[in-house]
Structure 1
């Protein structure tokens, strides 16, 4: 059998769009690292997608601790190649342009996901260029503001609880800082898969965390967790040794061979050696912007098995106030920026 050779074409594959985007957009940027007030509004060019990327009109952007750390000169600040820079990882919005007609996310699709900031511009802007594999369809039951609070925190919790700890029926899991963005998802995922969940948090959050699935809530302001728990299978540490030697005390409450997972980068450089000396396993963790996992999380959100809690919503221009609120340290769940109308 003879095959006809494919004809080459000098024409580019057309990008499918809802409407032509403007040349420039409103965004929040910072020109140098520092306190929250380095964040300010600016007009910047709308980014252009290439190959399989999507151009998304951002309706809402999530605010995460890594955003504040980066703005302050830590986090991923060392990877910022030029200033001014538009920060932000989380977004929920509407696809403006898709690479080809049969693409899984055609123009007009409501999506949510994570941006590869600072390799690209961030989500504190009216438009963003997004890798196809880092997004999923927005859960139908959520508003854009609610959906924007999900991606980074939920994907981190999913990676910790499901992919690293392999949560299962009867497993004993201790989660530090359970009322935060990552923490409140980790509690729900661990409980969903049948684990017995113990959480450290402030006393005011105890009733809420029990509603989310925690079996035991320890008020860290009044009780030292290492005096009341022992023989844990897994400790998910969202604090580290930056406060009250949380990490050092955590490895001591694990059963022999138990697993200690440290999340905040740089919060306890000596964790691996300490875990080895205590006869337990240890690993750090970094979030993976996996669109397939995000789609699974979306189905759990739509079914009501998991929920996202939005503590406060700020307008895009008030990003500095949002960062100050986050750094105050009393956020329950997530803070979100409202970027544009639905």
Structure 2
């Protein structure tokens, strides 16, 4: 048997239950991981609340969590890139908050010894999203990138990747996060009323491209700053089309894990990229992890410790 955090109805964190389930079996091209840690993302509580499926009810209990680290325990047919005992991390379809989870073999990244399971579990979603948005913006050395919600997980990784690629990065964030952003090489400005003037003061030569990770209604002004909606991308604002801005949530736009981590892991190892872990929770306290994420204002990632 295995254990998994699941919910049988949409709602608040209180709907989450730690339940016993049958041990999942990997199919063709899949592996079963014995989970050691799982990352928490805002999309997890948005799905749990039913924000993407208004008016619908769950047909059966559903798991939560889309990224995990662990040890390969079993492999399905046609898998020759991983073997039992391998320490790996990956983005998964769902159900990462569990003792065991199924992952596609082609999504696995082998975990180096210098990276902890908790650190590894925090990486897949934020790293892929950051790489995807920078690829869409076609960022170039010498440009200036504005990141809204620069202290969120995606903003932190995107900002540091951009700096490593030779860009100047301006980031909006609460003033409590400014010192951390400065340490990472990001030029922080406070969000809220007057942010446009503060950005212009911080970047007198202008803003070339914008990544919106906040969803706080900043798209109109961001387009005005760049002069072109194609130079703005959002991962958080559903009104993107109203402004001619591209909204990206993954799907067929995703960057392959091998490509993402060929860049990310060397930067992590060299100390040129950091993704702070805001707090860890045991699996039995998954509701508290969801609650903290939903409250917002988390610096970095929330991680669930499993094994």
TM over 0.5: yes
Change (3 A) 1:75 1:64: farther
1:59 aligns with 2:26: no
Distance 1:62 1:31 in 2: 21
- Alpha-carbon distance between aligned partners in 2 of 1:142 and 1:311, rounded to the nearest angstrom: 17
CA separation in 1, counterparts of 2:117 and 2:101?
15
Residue 141 (1) aligns with residue 107 (2): no
1:201 Cα deviation from its structure 2 partner: 0.2
Determine which structure has the larger helix proportion and give its number.
2
8 A contact 1:138–1:298 mirrored in 2: no
Tell me the distance in 2 between the aligned counterparts of 1:38 and 1:81.
Answer: 12
Secondary structure at 2:222's aligned position in 1?
helix
RMSD in angstroms over aligned alpha carbons? Answer: 2.2
Is the 1:139–1:302 contact (alpha carbons within 8 Å) kept by the matching residues of 2?
Answer: no
Does residue 146 of structure 2 align to residue 178 of structure 1? Answer: no
Q: Name which of 62, 67, 78 aligns with 1:85.
A: 62
Which residue of the other structure, out of 175, 182, 200, is the alignment partner of 1:210?
182
Question: Does structure 1 retain, via aligned residues, the 8 Å contact 2:6–2:18?
Answer: yes
Q: Is 1:319 the counterpart of 2:286 in the alignment?
A: yes
Structure 1 stretches of 4+ moved >6 Å:
76-81
Gaps of 5+ in 2: 201-205
Q: CA offset at residue 307 of structure 1?
A: 1.8
- Would you say how many aligned residue pairs link Structure 1 and Structure 2? 298
* Equivalent of residue 276 in structure 2, options 275, 292, 309: 309
Structure 1 unaligned residues grouped into runs of 5+: 1-23, 276-281
Deviates more, 1:328-337 or 1:70-79: 70-79
Shift of 1:102: 8.0
What per-residue deviation string (whole Å, max 9, x for no partner) do you get for residues 310-335 of structure 1?
00000001000001111111100000
Structure 2 contact 174–191 (Cα < 8 Å) conserved: yes
**Matches of 2:302 and 2:7, distance apart in 1:** 19
Equivalent residue of 1:207, what SS? helix
Q: TM-score, normalised by structure 1?
A: 0.81
Question: Equivalents in 1 of 2:47, 2:86: separation in Å?
Answer: 30
Aligned residue number for residue 238 of structure 1: 213
| Partners of 1:100 and 1:208 in 2: CA distance | 46
Structure 1 counterpart of 2:203: none
- How does the TM-score come out when normalised to structure 2? 0.90
Which among 232, 240, 256 is matched to residue 290 of structure 1? Answer: 256
Q: CA deviation at 1:56?
A: 0.7
Q: Which residue of 1 aligns with 2:300?
A: 333
SS of match in other structure, 2:208: strand
Shift of 1:48: 0.7
